[in-house]
Amino acid sequence: MKKVHYLLLAAMLPVAGLANAAFAGCQTISFTDGSSFCFDIAKTGTDTYRAEVSSSRVSSSSLSCKLTLPNNNRIDLPNCQGNFNYGGSDMKVELRADTPNAYSVLVANYDFRNGRFTDGSDSNNRDWNNNYWGYQVDFSSVSTNNPSTDQWIDMTLRVRNTSASYSNYFNGRVNFTVEEYRNGTWRTASSSDYSLERSSYDFSYSDAGERRLTNFLRFRNNGQYRILAQIDGTNYTAYQTFTVGNGNNNRWDNNRSNWVAIDDISTTSPSVDQWISLRVRRDGSYYSSQTVRFEVEEYRDGYWRSAYSSDYDLDRSSYTFYSSESSKSFSSFLKFRKDGEFRLTARLDNGETTTASFYVGRGRNNNASSQIRVEKSGSSSVSAGSWVDLNLTAYQRYSNSKNENYNGELSVKVQKKDGYYWSTASSSDYDISSSYVNFYRSDYGRKYLTNFIRFRNNGQYKVIFTDRSDSSITDSIELSVGGSYYDNTWRQNNNNYNYTNAEYDKLRAVYNIWQGVISTLKRDYPRLRNSSFWQSESDRFYNNMRAVINGERNPTFDSWNRFYQGFMDWFSLTLRTR
């Protein structure tokens, strides 16, 4: 097995020659139709610069760009080239490049003093362990770009590469930040100005490069904001701007009360049904009659959501300050009726808000009120000897919505029906890839189990999944197994194949990791990803291995030597194609 093992490792690792390639300091701009060019800014003198294009696969007559400098000045660049002046500090620049059929946005740090891009855009700084250079992220849709305060915004995030409108094989992380346009420049927004349901998202292969983010972002104050999405470890960034309310944010006006606070809280870790006392304060250069309103939220299903009124008691939903009153204390103001993580928000008429968090009883449990569902595509009848794919979904048992924050370890048990009774199936009745399944938050509530189980003998079977920490989270699926499966074990049935037991185990080990190897190679090497011939040969090799494992008559790999030669042919093709 050593030769096969090391060859597979070699196929999965970057070829040494790639690490010696030289990269210029320019930034690659890629479009969905496969066209691209390299953009750079050259320093021509004190505070004078020139935008330049190289390695272009785009007709210059069809290319136009807008460059936004750190001082928010926008420069039109016909053909994406031209001279400009800038005398400010080093910060991010933004380039929007347009062709008749597509556009691309690049946000990157530029060192104006030395005249070069930073963030690893040259060969000395670039992170060679990062697999996602060349990908582009964008917001393909947004529910509104002119929301009211406290209005939740839904967005669709898409990651694409230079050869497709979206990337089926992107499984990296995208980070989010929120900025506010204030005093003539974009600055990091205060966390009190917005609610963001997650600061990053980890794509999985099942996302196919696209993710719908529901109730993702809301703003608490009027103003101009934008959210930036950046592929982790690269400088590929997209942004979406919002004008909230009337777009004016006068929170920095000293002639108005500009903040509110909740303090003197009797406890932030109450028991169920324990009353909480607290004080609400406001401050400013002068006071007027103002109303403060209260709302209660619960962290549920991975998001902050309005709490159910049955889960808490609130003494009042609002209070009006007298003009001379700067604070108000409340006794027995709030209590909660169940365990969980909650927060109380106080909001003044002028939009100023503050929150106080409470961990009730055991606090947050991402698996509380969760349930799982196990399903199989198509009929529940399967053939003996055929591998079965299963799908698992975690959901909220009351709302029936997917619980994207579920995490837990599921045990797997197999039962067989004997007459009217179910009993534990014999290990000789089936093969299973694992006796447990780990759900992670990065699975976002769904798990695909490919080639998970196969049955060797006819009969009625039940596959049961149960959360190891909460046995009430469980589900099962019944499968009817028919057909003939030559014998109970591969070795007994296939003694005419020219494999030793050890050689068969090696073939089976390669078969088990094959799909993961192919996905990794397609992700890392665009030429492999775009080669239909290489893909078909990879599938043919996989099917030939499966024929041996399923005990088919006269398989192509009817001996170890033929299997090994087949692998060497595929490996040689991979090296030539990549």
Regions of the chain short of the pLDDT cut 70:
1-25, 32-34, 72, 89-91, 118-134, 161-169, 183-184, 206, 235-236, 249-259, 283-288, 300-303, 362-369, 397-400, 441-442, 469, 483-497, 501
For 553-564, letters b (16+ CB in 10 Å) and e give eebebbebeebb
First-to-last alpha carbon distance for the chain, in angstroms, is: 25
Between the alpha carbon of residue 32 and those of residues 169, 234, 289, 452, 520, the distances in Å are: 15, 19, 56, 36, 22
- The pLDDT score that the predictor gives to residue 368 is 58
Segments making up each domain of the chain, as ranges: 26-117, 136-244, 259-360, 370-482, 495-577
How high is the pLDDT of residue 125? 33
> 51 forms bridges with which residues in the sheet?
41, 82
One DSSP character per residue, 493-522 reads HTTTSB--HHHHHHHHHHHHHHHHHHHHHH
Which among 190, 203, 252, 249 has a CA at the least distance from the CA of 229? Answer: 203
The CATH topology of domain 259-360 is Immunoglobulin-like (2.60.40)
CATH architecture type of domain 370-482? Sandwich (2.60)
CA-CA distance, 312 to 294, in Å (whole number)? 13
Q: Note whether 136-244 and 370-482 share their fold.
A: yes
Would you say 483 and 458 are in contact if contact means Cβ atoms under 8 Å apart? yes
Taking the C-alpha atoms of residue 22 and residue 249, their distance in angstroms, rounded to an integer, is 47
Q: Say how far apart CA 427 and CA 431 lie, in whole Å.
A: 7
Amino acid 211: pLDDT: 85
Type and span of the H or E element at 35 = none
User: Is the separation of the CB atoms in 357 and 297 below 8 Å?
Assistant: no
CA 276 to chain centre: 38
Strand partners for 374:
392
Pick the CATH number of 136-244 from 3.30.43.10, 3.40.47.10, 3.40.50.2300, 2.60.40.10: 2.60.40.10
Residue 207: C-alpha distances to residues 33, 107, 417, 476, 508 (Å): 21, 24, 37, 25, 28
Q: How far apart are alpha carbons 99 and 45 in whole angstroms?
A: 30
Residue 74 identity: R
Q: In this structure, are residues 238 and 139 in contact, taking their beta carbons and an 8 Å threshold?
A: yes
Q: What is the pTM of this model?
A: 0.34
pLDDT at 15: 32
Give 547-574 pLDDT, tens digit per residue: 887 777 778 888 888 888 889 889 888 8
The token pair at 18 is 């790639």
In this structure, whether the domain defined by 26-117 belongs to CATH 3.40.50 is answered with no
The 3-class SS string of 314-369 reads ECCCEEEECCCCCEEEEEEEEEECCCEEEEEEEEECCCCEEEEEEEECCCCCCCCC
pLDDT computed for residue 3 by the predictor: 39
